Structures are given as C-alpha cells and as structure tokens.
Structure 1
Amino acid sequence: MAVKAKYANVIVDISHEKLDKTFQYLIPAEMATEIFPGVRVEIPFGRANRLIKGYVIEATDESACDERLLKQIHSVSKDSLPIESQLIQLAWWIKENYGSTMNQALKTVIPVKTKVRPKTKKYIELDVSDKEAAGLLKIYGNTKKFVARYRLMEELSKEKMLPWDIVTDKLNISDSTLKSMEKSGIIRISVETSLRDTVHYHDAKSDPVSLNTEQAAVVNRIKKDMESGDMTPHLIFGVTGSGKTEIYISLIEEVISRGRQAIVLIPEIALTYQTVMRFYKRFGDRVSFINSRLSQGEKHDQFEKAVNGDIDIMIGPRSAVFTPFKKIGIIIIDEEHESAYKSDMVPKYHARETAIERARMTDALVVMGSATPSVESYYKASNNIFRLSVLENRATVNDLPQVHLVDLREELKNGNRSIFSDRLLNLMKDRLEKNRQIILFINRRGYAGFVSCRSCGEPVKCIHCDVGMTAHNDGNLVCHYCGYRIPTPKACPECGSKYIAAFGIGTQKVEAYVKKIFPDSRVLRMDTDTTSQKGGHEKILAAFANHEADILIGTQMIVKGHDFPLVSLVGVIAADLSLYASDFRAAEKTFQLLTQAAGRSGRGTDKGEVVIQTYSPDNYCITYAANQDYPGFYQQEILYRKLSHYPPLTGMVAVIITSPDKTCADNLAAFIAALVDRLAAGEGLQVIGPSDAGIAKIKDIYRKVIYLKHEENDILVKIKNQIEKEIKENGSFGQAGVQFDFDPMNNY
C-alpha cells in the first residue's frame, strides 16, 4: 500500500461538508514508506503549530504551492486503526479502480455526517413540591385568567410527566404559557434525544433456524473455512426456494458469536421489507437497514448506531457496503447477479468487487448467493477464484414449477392478437376458481425500442456487434456500441413479413385487460407509478401477502426474492423485451429474469406452473430458463463471450465524454482516441469508437463513447490513469469531461 511520494494531502475533519478542504504537507524521508491514503497522522496546524490529528487522503508528487511554504508531517499515529482510516483506504481503491476524483470517492464511501436535526421529544414535569402544587391548583382554580394553568397542573398532579405534544395539542396549552411557568420555576421542560428507528416491528424473537441436510452441509463448509482463516469468497448457487436466507442467518449467528458484525446487501428497495423482517425476527433490534428512501436524518442515525455498536447487522442496497462497522466478520450479497449492485453515478463502482476489497482489508468473508449467478461470478467459481456451493433442491416439499413455453407466432397465426395466450388465460381461470394467486410479469428490463418481426420472431441486429439495434425517433435503427445506423425496414429482412415494429407493452395496459376479462378479480399493480411514495413497495407486497388481491402485475421488482405461498401461477407476458436490447448481457439478463419469475410459483403446498410467452421459443436463454438449467445456459453464454471478446474473459471499459458544447465533446473524444491508439501499440488493446452515445444529448449535454477491451484489467486501469493525466496536463478542453465505467452493466 505504501507509495513513496513527496507530499501528502490531509483532511482534518471527516464530514461531507469538509471533504473538499485539504491541507498539503511534506513527507519526511524517514516516513516515506509509512504514508499512504487512510493513514492517520499528527500534523502542525495553524500559526501556533499545535499538533492535531488528520488523515492522509492522497500521496502525490504534485505540489499545491511553493514547497518552502509547506510544513512537515510530525508523526504517524500508532494508536488502533480507526474506521475512518479503513474507509479512506477503500475510497482510494475505488478511485484507482473505477476512475473518479478522490473527493468523489470519499463522498461515496464516508457515511453522511452533514448536520441533521436530532430526533427529540420534549416532556413537561412539575418542578415544585406536592404542597406547593396543591396551593397553586387552589389559586389557579379561583382565577379565570389561569384556566389553562389549572388544567395543566391538574393533569401533572396525576401523571407527574407529560409529553409536550400532548400538552400543546390535547390540553391546548400555548407555548407562551409553558415558557412563563418554566421561568417561574413551576414546571421543568426536558428534552430527550434519540436515534431514529427504521424498523417498526415488535414481535418476539424467533428460535434459531433449522437447516436441512443440503443447507447444513454448505454452512459447515463455510464455517470450516472461517475457522481455518481461509477467507476466499463463497458463491452459493441454489435453485429458487432452496433456502439461502436460512444459510445467511446461520452464518451471521456464528459471526456475531465471535463478537463481529455483518452487512447484508440486497438489490432492490422492494426486497427490504420481507428481508428485514426475516432477520429482525431472529436478531431483534440488533438489526437496522438503509435505503435511498430514508430521510437524511434516518440514514445518519443508522450509521451512528453502527459506529456506537448499537447494532450488529446492517441490511441495505449497495451503499450499505460502506457501513462504518469497526469489526466486520461477514458481508453477504443476496441475488449477487443483480445489475443494481453497479453504481450508475461516478464513481461507477460495483458493490460485489468493493465488498471483496473491504473484506480483504478487515479479514472478513464475502458470501454471495443466487439462483442465477452472474456469468462473472460463476466464471470465477469455475476457475477456483471463488468457492462454489450448490443447493439442488427446494427447501419446501414442492419441486420446481412446470414451465410452459408459448410461441406467440403460432398464437398470431391462429388469430389470437391479444396480450394473453390461450394457455395462460385458461390457467388464470383455473387459479381464480381455486382461490389461488397469480403473478403477471412484464419483462421490460433493458427495453429500449428494439425492433422485431411478429411473424418469424427475428430481431434486427447490428452486423458488427451482434446486439439488437435500437429504434430512434428519426426513423433509423442505431447500434449503441459502435454507432452503426440503418433506416428502419418496412418489412422483415428475414421473412418479408409486414408485421415488423418496435415492441412494447405496459403494466397499465395489462391491468386494464385483466379487469376486462376477469371483472371480479382483485388486482394490484406494482410499478414506478404505484410505488413512488415512501413505503409504497411494502404496502403493495403486504396487501398481496395477506391475500387482499388475487393478481399482482408488475415489472422486474415483483420477481426478486419474494415468497408468496398462495401463488401457483406466474405468467411472463413477453419474454423477448429484454432479449434483444442493445446490450451484450441481454441473454444473461433475460435468463435471470425468467428463472427468477418462474421461481415465484409453487413455493407453498400447491404445485406451481409458469407460462412464458415468447416470439423466440428456440433461443438458448429461453429454453434453458424454461428447464431451470443454469449450467447449460452458462456453457453456451461463456462461449459467446469468448468469441465476441466480452467480459468476463476480456476486461472492458466505457470512456464517456460529456460537454454542453458539441465541439468540445468532439475534440476531447478525438484527443482520447488518438492517445489510446498511441498507448495501444503492442498492448493488444481493442478500441471501438468514438461514436455518439445511444442518446447523444441529455439535458443539453452532448455524449460520446469509446469502448476499450483487454484481457488484463490492470492494463485498462493503467490506460485510464494515463488518459486522466494527459487531459489534466493538456487543460484545453473547456467544459468537456470524461467518465470511466469498468465492465459496464448498461450500454451508452
């Protein structure tokens, strides 16, 4: 970690509003190997040169001013490594590996410590003796002017202490009256400060989990590795409903018994309620959670609980990986395949890789779980970089559901142009008659206006990149990787059919159609419109879990990890919507969504059934999803990635150039392209672009993109560093800026 440099940039206050304020110091020669990002140092500060503690955030050879004006670092702190040092080290790692400024990385990693109003509750109590109180009651009772005082004294003589809001709202006592009585020494006003709770649940704790044979074998294997000090990351590949959460809980019990803490990452806000309740029932108020919908004050208080040792487990999306626990023992990543773990803001870090780095720094273990692992993680497991454990059976008595593939081309030939196939309609009637529940899933993830033929099912693909082309408003189809462009065809290039168009369907349209066919059914819709308010996800999921509705309609948020025992039918309205998106991961994402959707069916006592409606029933990702065959899908997909030079066999970085001035964006893109050509000599680097981004202009900001590929990620990091350095040295690109996205999860 040590970096031999001449200067150190130091911050003295770890808070968001102060992260921009750094002070530069000279590094004494004898400390050269001890100074690196995160280390705590003592520095002379101010005119009096009083010694204070600070944190090194960067070691550099670039002087911020005349070297003669700089002071030297006094010493390196020898006390125990504080949590702030660890988080600064992690920020440096993110900055180096994902491309950002150190300040951007720090503001991502350091918990919010902006000034927030604490949660307070005021109380009022008597500040006089009982004898004095009785005398005052007598005086107030005989004076019309003091009716409010009499009412308050009467209540306080009974209750001794009353909450402020009860006194002001229910007893209708004014603030001025209360302040006057306090000034006279009759009452005392006290303020109680507390940390905000995000979990509102008060049932008794449940008993320890009971594991079946398969689950126990996985837990014992992981515990054995922990005991031997082997912290190689673990990947649990378990079919839907195999009981991965029970394994997580058992491992967390082990970690907590050793006096350490746990972080549990989940991919979606929609999962939070059910997940938190399962952990809260076992661990009580030692659990907390965060998500983007919490207020600033609520987030602040959850991190304060972690710092103070008031909780042992933090649950949340990717930002929970930065929870300021001092002794992390395990980081669990549920549904590790989810693209939500990749940040779409600079720095564009991936929570999985960041968790592995944080665990390495703290000698903790990372455990990932999924029924449909990411190709990257399964590749690492296949090459012994991760440990692989497999759960082949569901934890319940039921087997995996029966899956029916419906060819929508045949439905069209038979005259059925509705959004529901005959098979799906008949099965829906059957479930409603049996008072069972149904989930209708609309596969809209990655949908960006792809064009396909409804007669033969073929999409229009880029001849250079083998990904679906995207329909644009100017009447053209565009590849979002290389910029290849063609006019939208009037007829299918494959079969000549006139039934060719951009394909799409929305949740509201499906809801209206369901209500028309089944007017007596109770329907819930779950999408961005119905979940926009705080707690929206929880209300809909709780209502469906309580059987207040028969049919739940939604996009990908309804198929992630939920457990509804009465659901015995899942219908996938259009499997193709994500399949031909302009994205090399389109087949993987489609397979994952279909498999996860199918996994919601038959989790109770009834046998489950799934109907997948598609125009591409022969596509490998759809047939493997129908058979719940991940290994088969992986073998086919990894071959495609190898032939096309895509991750995980080849590292990839998107270089995104942005500017409000089109000429500036073009100039910077050309400069980077020329620089990359020079750096690429002899490096085996593949360069695609520069080209306009898929959406070339957003909010008056022009966007260009260059894709770089290389088998070694270190080479891409080195090139990223050189691009940053030469842009800074050139300094002639005006308002143009550059961002880097390593192994991008979405196209540009």
Structure 2
Amino acid sequence: MYANVIIDISHEKVDKPFQYKVPDKLTGKIDIGSPVVIPFGRGNTTRKGFVIELTDEPNWDPAKIKEIIDVSDEVVSAQDISMRLAAWMKRHYGSTMIAALRTVLPAAKKQNRQVHKYISLRMDLRQARDLYNECVRKKQKARERLLKELLENPEDRIPYEFVTGKLNIASQTIKALSDQGIIKVESEEYYRKPVAAESSRYGKAVLSDEQQHIVDTVKKDYDEGQRNTYLIHGITGSGKTEVYIALIDDVIKRGKQAIVLIPEIALTYQTLMRFYRHFGDRVSVMNSTLSPGEKFDQMERARTGDIDIIIGPRSALFTPFPNTGIIIIDEEHESAYKSETMPKYHARETAIELSKLLPDGAAVVLGSATPSLESYYRAQTGEYKLFELNRRLTGGTLPTVEIADLREELRKGNRSIFSLRLQELIEDRLSRGEQTMLFINRRGLAGFVSCRSCGHVFKCPHCDVALSEHRGGRLVCHYCGYEEPVKKICPKCSSKYVSSFRAGTQQIEDEVKKFWPQAKVLRMDADTTRAKGSYEKILSAFANKEADVLVGTQMIVKGHDFPDVTLVGILAADMSLYASDYRASERTFQLLTQAAGRAGRGDKKGNVIIQSYQPDHYSIIAASKQDYKEFYDEEIAYRDLLSYPPVSHMMSVQIMSKDEEEGMAFATKLRTLMEQRKLEGSVFIGPAAASIGRINDIYRMAVYVKMSDYQGLIYYKDLMEKYIRSLEDQGKLRYISVQFDFDPVNGF
C-alpha cells in the first residue's frame, strides 16, 4: 500500500503529493487526512505531512520509495470532507494545498487533557481511626489533618487541591500515604469549558407569524430532503435570533449539530448567552481569545458529541462535528467573513460548498438587516430563498433619524465634534437617565497629523499611509507598527502650525467629558479590548447602566441589544465613502443602518443623528429612511453598469515585490499572458499601484480581471499559477510573490 502525501511546508514548490510506502505496522492506522511523519529530501529530514490518497499502485520503482515513519500525534486526523473542502478552496480561491489544509484542519497542536484529582480512604474505618490516634500520639500533624477530614466524610472524595491548599499537606506526604495503601488518589480527565455562565434555561419563545412561517418552511424542505440556502432579511430588532434557535432546536432533535457564525468576537458574548440560556452547556464557543488548550478541547467536544452547537467567527465553520445539519451565518454582510490570508475564502460560499459535501447535506441560513448585495441579488434571481421580517418584536418602532449637515454647522460657527441638535439630545438623555451610543469609524486620538502651513502630512517611512496620533505624544502606523514622537515643527517648511485632524474615539471620549463632566463614559475600540474578557467587561458594564455614554468604533454598532439606549450619534458618517473601493457606498449604508438600529430597542422611542458633509448622498439618505430596497435598486444599477460583483465576477491579482520596477514589469507580464489566451467577455484593468502602494517596504500592485463566468477567472488563475511555478523551478522568481483574491471584499 502506498500513500500520496502533501508535505507541511507552505511553499508552491512542494505543493504536490510525494509517494511513500505504508509499513506493515501502520496498515489500518492510516486513512485519508491522517497526519504522518515522513523522511523528506536528500538529508531525509523528518517532516510532517497529510495523506491525500491511498493506492496500491507505485508511481515509480518501489525499491526507491521511502517509508512513512509514523502517524503524527500532533494533529487530530482530518476527515475526508475536510480534505475535499481544502481541495475545493485551493481551486476556487488560489493557494497552496497546504495553506488550504491548514485552514480547514482545526486546533493543530494536540494539548494535554486537564485532570481533576481526588483523594479517598482505601482502608476500612476501624483501621483508619487507629491510625489517626497513632498520628495524634506521634504528633504527625499533616497526616492527622488529612485523616481527620477523611474520617468526617468517609463516603466522599476530597479534591486534591483542597488537600494541598486548605489542609496544607505536601504532595510527598500524599504519595507516601498512597504507597502505604492508606489512601487512594484517582484522576479524572475533563474538558476545558470557555463558557463561564450558569445555565438558567428559558422556555421556548413564542414566535410571530412571520417567524413561524420561516421555521415551518425550512422544516418542510428538510423533511422533503431539500437542503437550500435561505436569506432572512429582517430589520434590526425583528427577532432573527429566535428563528435561529427554533431551527437549531429542530435540527438537534434530528440528531444533528449546528454551526453558528458571527462576524467578530465583540458579538460572541451576547449571542452566546442567548443560546446558552436555551441550550445550556450543549453550546460552546470558538474564537481567537481562547487558549490553545481551550481550542483543542472544543474541537474534541464537537468530535465526541459532548456539544451540539458551536458559535464563533469564520474559522468555527471547520468544527469537526460528526453530522452537521445546519450552518447559520448571522450579519452575513460583514467583510470579516472574507479571509485576508491565503486562501482568501469567503465563509458564505465555503459554507454552501461544505453543506454539499456533507453526506446528508445541511441547510444554510443567512441573516442580516442589511444583506450583502451578493446575497440579495441571488435571492432575487431565485438561487437563495428569501424571507422578510418587517416588524420589531418589542413592539417598538424604528427610531427617528435626522441628518445633520456639518457644512451648515460650520457656517453657524459650531466648531465642535457634536452638531447642535446632537448636543441638545445628549443633554436631554442625561437628564432622563437614558443611555447614548456615539459611533465613529476611527481608532486612536486622531486621523492624521499635518502642517497647516504647507500641507505636509506625516507619513510612515515604510508604508504609503499617514501616521495616526495616539496618547503619550506618539505617531503610530496602523499597518506596520512604526512609531515616532510627535514633532512640533514641520520638517518641510519649519512652520509651528503642526496639528492633527482630531476625530478618534479617545478624542470623542475627552470631548464628552469636557461638555458633560457629570456623564460616565465608556470607550470600546481595538485599543481598549486587547485583553481577554475586555469585550464582555465593557458590554456588561454598559448593559448594567454603569455608564451613560458608550463611545466606540464599528464594533459597538453590530448586533448588541441595549433597551435603555434611546440615542445614537453617528459622527463623520461619510468617512467610509472616501475609501477607494467599489463597495464604499454599500459599506456606508450598512454601517449607518446597523448603528441606527441600536436606538429605541426597548419600549422607549429612539433618536438617531447622522452627521455628514455629504447629506445628499443616496446611501446616507436611504440609511436615514432605513430603506434597504431603495439603496439596493440604486446601487445594483451602478454595479450592472460597471460590471462589478454581484452582476459580474472579479479577480484581483495581487503582486508584491521588494523592487517597484521589477514588480510592475512582472505584473505587466501576467496581464500579457492572460491577453494571449483571452476568453470572450473578459475585461482587464491595470497593472496599477495598489490603494496602499507600499507596506513595510514591500511594493504592491494589482491587475484586475472582470468576467461574468467565475470558471473563466479560475482558468486565468490556473494559467498564472502554472507560469509562476515554472519560473520558480528555474530559480527566476525570488523577491516577488503573487496572491489571488476572487470577488474582493476589502480593498488592496
């Protein structure tokens, strides 16, 4: 028997299978997806690899084929489905097979299981009492303390930590007593459980007619063997989570498991608690704040059936459940579902592919108040089934939204961050003891620092981006981490007029405190949420009304439910419109609508103030009306006109080079290569410098290809990969790397 093995080196040169002999001792122990230890290369260096195929046919002289050394215990064996999904990702998104395997194979490093130890009496009670009296007589204090505790509770096992801690008995003493047969020490393995909450199970929520219709339809399809993709377009507060819970309830009763994806860690806690109250500890969580041991244990719990539901960001999609029945993607429009490292997969498309690969299939449910244009377009064309939820469950209505024209504010002489109307409403909420959320799409103290005399902007010497001012007089690059002290004099014209464009979360927090010293303020951004548990801390404090105002970046506007928030202020609403990205209007509409949806979720009326320099932009007007359909109709017309996704498909070929000229020359070669084999209906753009042309002294450029046929883009990708491999084999491509991004979500 021979195994074709992919070596665990993330490099294109070894992105092909190598054949090894399966020794007799490992026959029956190796399967597709098994991690194995093998000798590799001339020096027979020990490497790890993954079996991707088993065969009884050697590819060359059997005498020259090396043997597998052993099965690796470092990684948990992958299932056939994971291997097939990795192969699909490699083909669909462009990457090495190893990078794809690393993505789909969970919790790489095997962790030692946690152990609880217990101590109990081994001898009968009469002997134990005699021994106790002897210890008292001989003044053997430690033994006396332990035996006294055991005699008082002869039926119980005492935790080891209690004995060593509270009773202050050394481990040598415990070992000696165990060796003498006086006590026994038992060990029990247990799983680390990251959810530290009491399960107070709630009864079933009573669903509205709209909600019940969704649940009934999906159940009926399931009974008939149909595994569809569904899009729930529900206004903020319309009860999408209750629908998810009802659907999961049904799937679990069928003996299957559920994966719930949420866009980022900030949402994990609140979502998790809602599921935990219903399903108890059959729910667990997977995210980047868990320790390697916690991650490994959650994967093991899923594999062994100890849990039915996993909640987490996109990587939770690869949880090795034995029988996944439903995959739910909440806030499906979020860009966080697109990976920014190779393979640049989208969780939505990958979930749909995974659902097809599962033996019994799975339903895929997408939910959002502001669906991505891709999902809504597919729902309009009948590829997905569309459901609408148009009523707020609380009985509350959508908030009153007003747009404040910042140009007008300036004319009135108002130079503060807050418009006069917003100041008036914050004042009102503070007097009534209600809460306010202030949202800005910025982090740090300031946007950029410039000279007001000559216009010089302080930039990072390694990246094509402006430095941001942070507290402590530091200028920081948010891309490579470069720092320098704030300069008082302009290096270009020696002017003293150096100041920053102040519009960061810290600045807003300071301004609130300056205007309203009595207000208690919390701030939530990437800087305040670095420590483990900091999200939960800030959100819990705000939910418990320990603060009047919550200031934050976009992490505060998504999915949270605070019934006492009756005012949301959106500062510099149009900032995201200035991004050089065809999705800028869509992003702006989604952010504003989601932010506005945080107000008036309880029984009190909500107000939203959108502050903008472009109050007549269609995305801002549609967001102020909370009218998705109006925005979609306008935006899809532009996308159709310019052949952008979702009407067409697009591939970004991203070239990174240490030398700018060499990189641009190579990018031109790639375009020429595609033009020589041009398919009908394809459009090429570039090469051109990326929107950020240099990061960390690496130059970046891109070639874009638009085409309605996705398979055509894969054809071009395969063509370029083959060409790049041939150059690498000849040693002609040393300081250039190429990545592919299909239907890019984030600018490059």
Give the partner amino acid of 2:179: K
Is the counterpart of residue 115 in structure 1 residue 86 in structure 2? no
In the alignment, which residue of structure 2 is the partner of 1:606?
Answer: 604
Q: Give the whole-Å Cα distance in 2 for the aligned partners of 1:189 and 1:301.
A: 24
How far did 1:51 drift? 5.4
The equivalent position to 2:687 in structure 1, one of 690, 693, 699, is: 690
In the alignment, which residue of structure 2 is the partner of 1:150?
Answer: 144
In the alignment, which residue of structure 2 is the partner of 1:32?
Answer: none
Q: Give the whole-Å Cα distance in 2 for the aligned partners of 1:448 and 1:621.
A: 25
In the alignment, which residue of structure 2 is the partner of 1:714?
Answer: 711
Structure 1 unaligned residues grouped into runs of 5+: 1-6, 26-42, 74-81, 453-469, 474-500
* Bigger shift: residues 721-730 or 130-139: 130-139
- 3-state DSSP of counterpart to 2:214: helix
Cα RMSD for the two superposed structures: 3.1
Q: Give the whole-Å Cα distance in 2 for the aligned partners of 1:659 and 1:374.
A: 33
In the alignment, which residue of structure 2 is the partner of 1:593?
Answer: 591
Give the partner amino acid of 1:739: Q
Q: Give the whole-Å Cα distance in 1 for the aligned partners of 2:623 and 2:409.
A: 21
Is the counterpart of residue 541 in structure 1 residue 539 in structure 2? yes
Give the partner amino acid of 1:745: V
Contact 1:241 1:396 in 2 (8 A): yes
In the alignment, which residue of structure 1 is the partner of 2:301?
Answer: 305
Give the partner amino acid of 1:399: T
Give the 3 Å change call, closer, same or farther, for CA 117–665 of structure 1 in structure 2: farther
In the alignment, which residue of structure 1 is the partner of 2:375?
Answer: 377
Give the partner amino acid of 1:506: G
Q: Give the whole-Å Cα distance in 1 for the aligned partners of 2:58 and 2:719.
A: 20
Q: Give the whole-Å Cα distance in 1 for the aligned partners of 2:345 and 2:276.
A: 29
Deviation string 1:630-686 (CA, Å, 9 cap, x unpaired) is: 000001111111222211112111222234565664554343233223233x43322
Q: Give the whole-Å Cα distance in 1 for the aligned partners of 2:659 and 2:135.
A: 75
In the alignment, which residue of structure 2 is the partner of 1:442?
Answer: 440
In the alignment, which residue of structure 1 is the partner of 2:285?
Answer: 289
Q: Give the whole-Å Cα distance in 2 for the aligned partners of 1:49 and 1:270.
A: 45
How far did 1:69 drift? 5.1
Q: Give the whole-Å Cα distance in 1 for the aligned partners of 2:113 and 2:297.
A: 8
Alignment of 1:142-291 (within 5 A): 142-144=137-139, 146-160=140-154, 161-291=157-287
Q: Give the whole-Å Cα distance in 2 for the aligned partners of 1:120 and 1:68.
A: 46
Q: Give the whole-Å Cα distance in 2 for the aligned partners of 1:691 and 1:21.
A: 29
Q: Taking every aligned residue pair, what percent have the same amino acid on both sides?
A: 50
Contact 2:566 2:599 in 1 (8 A): yes
Deviation string 1:683-723 (CA, Å, 9 cap, x unpaired) is: 33222222333333433444332222211111111111111
Is the counterpart of residue 45 in structure 1 residue 22 in structure 2? yes
Q: Give the whole-Å Cα distance in 2 for the aligned partners of 1:451 and 1:676.
A: 43
Q: Give the whole-Å Cα distance in 1 for the aligned partners of 2:334 and 2:181.
A: 61
Give the partner amino acid of 2:738: V
Contact 1:83 1:325 in 2 (8 A): no
Give the partner amino acid of 2:744: P
TM-score by length of 2: 0.84
Give the partner amino acid of 2:23: G
In the alignment, which residue of structure 2 is the partner of 1:617?
Answer: 615
How far did 1:621 drift? 0.2
Contact 2:447 2:503 in 1 (8 A): no
In the alignment, which residue of structure 2 is the partner of 1:343?
Answer: 339
Q: Give the whole-Å Cα distance in 2 for the aligned partners of 1:502 and 1:722.
A: 48
Q: Give the whole-Å Cα distance in 2 for the aligned partners of 1:59 and 1:735.
A: 34
Aligned length: 666
In the alignment, which residue of structure 2 is the partner of 1:726?
Answer: 723
Give the 3 Å change call, closer, same or farther, for CA 445–645 of structure 1 in structure 2: farther
Is the counterpart of residue 737 in structure 1 residue 737 in structure 2? yes
TM-score by length of 1: 0.84
- 3-state DSSP of counterpart to 2:577: coil
Give the 3 Å change call, closer, same or farther, for CA 656–447 of structure 1 in structure 2: farther
* Bigger shift: residues 321-330 or 147-156: 147-156
Q: Give the whole-Å Cα distance in 2 for the aligned partners of 1:709 and 1:448.
A: 37
Give the partner amino acid of 1:335: E
In the alignment, which residue of structure 2 is the partner of 1:484?
Answer: none
Q: Give the whole-Å Cα distance in 2 for the aligned partners of 1:130 and 1:391.
A: 68
Q: Give the whole-Å Cα distance in 2 for the aligned partners of 1:439 and 1:610.
A: 10
Structure 2 unaligned residues grouped into runs of 5+: 34-50, 68-76, 451-463, 468-498
How far did 1:445 drift? 9.0
How far did 1:449 drift? 6.8
Deviation string 1:39-63 (CA, Å, 9 cap, x unpaired) is: xxxx9612779455321765799x9
Q: Give the whole-Å Cα distance in 2 for the aligned partners of 1:167 and 1:445.
A: 50
Deviation string 1:396-454 (CA, Å, 9 cap, x unpaired) is: 211111001000000000000100001001111111111111111112399997999xx
* Bigger shift: residues 376-385 or 157-166: 157-166
Contact 1:307 1:326 in 2 (8 A): yes
In the alignment, which residue of structure 2 is the partner of 1:575?
Answer: 573
How far did 1:611 drift? 0.4
Give the partner amino acid of 2:592: L
Give the 3 Å change call, closer, same or farther, for CA 373–445 of structure 1 in structure 2: farther
Contact 1:44 1:51 in 2 (8 A): no
Contact 1:236 1:388 in 2 (8 A): yes
Contact 1:446 1:578 in 2 (8 A): no
How far did 1:64 drift? 11
- 3-state DSSP of counterpart to 1:54: coil
Give the 3 Å change call, closer, same or farther, for CA 385–447 of structure 1 in structure 2: farther
Give the 3 Å change call, closer, same or farther, for CA 137–419 of structure 1 in structure 2: same
* Bigger shift: residues 558-567 or 684-693: 684-693
Alignment of 1:48-67 (within 5 A): 50=27, 52-55=29-32, 66=60
- 3-state DSSP of counterpart to 1:544: helix
Give the 3 Å change call, closer, same or farther, for CA 715–70 of structure 1 in structure 2: farther
In the alignment, which residue of structure 1 is the partner of 2:42?
Answer: none
How far did 1:504 drift? 5.7
How far did 1:307 drift? 0.9
Give the 3 Å change call, closer, same or farther, for CA 69–629 of structure 1 in structure 2: farther
In the alignment, which residue of structure 2 is the partner of 1:423?
Answer: 421
Give the 3 Å change call, closer, same or farther, for CA 50–260 of structure 1 in structure 2: closer
Give the 3 Å change call, closer, same or farther, for CA 442–394 of structure 1 in structure 2: same
Contact 1:686 1:709 in 2 (8 A): yes
Q: Give the whole-Å Cα distance in 1 for the aligned partners of 2:141 and 2:3.
A: 68
Give the partner amino acid of 1:216: Q
Q: Give the whole-Å Cα distance in 1 for the aligned partners of 2:604 and 2:398.
A: 11
Q: Give the whole-Å Cα distance in 2 for the aligned partners of 1:542 and 1:677.
A: 57
Give the partner amino acid of 1:519: P
Deviation string 1:486-511 (CA, Å, 9 cap, x unpaired) is: xxxxxxxxxxxxxxx99661111111
Give the 3 Å change call, closer, same or farther, for CA 51–310 of structure 1 in structure 2: closer
Give the 3 Å change call, closer, same or farther, for CA 182–23 of structure 1 in structure 2: farther
Alignment of 1:524-673 (within 5 A): 524-660=522-658, 665-666=663-664, 668-673=666-671
- 3-state DSSP of counterpart to 1:206: coil
Give the 3 Å change call, closer, same or farther, for CA 22–54 of structure 1 in structure 2: farther
Give the partner amino acid of 1:291: N
Give the partner amino acid of 1:255: V
Q: Give the whole-Å Cα distance in 2 for the aligned partners of 1:713 and 1:193.
A: 49
The equivalent position to 2:401 in structure 1, one of 403, 407, 422, is: 403
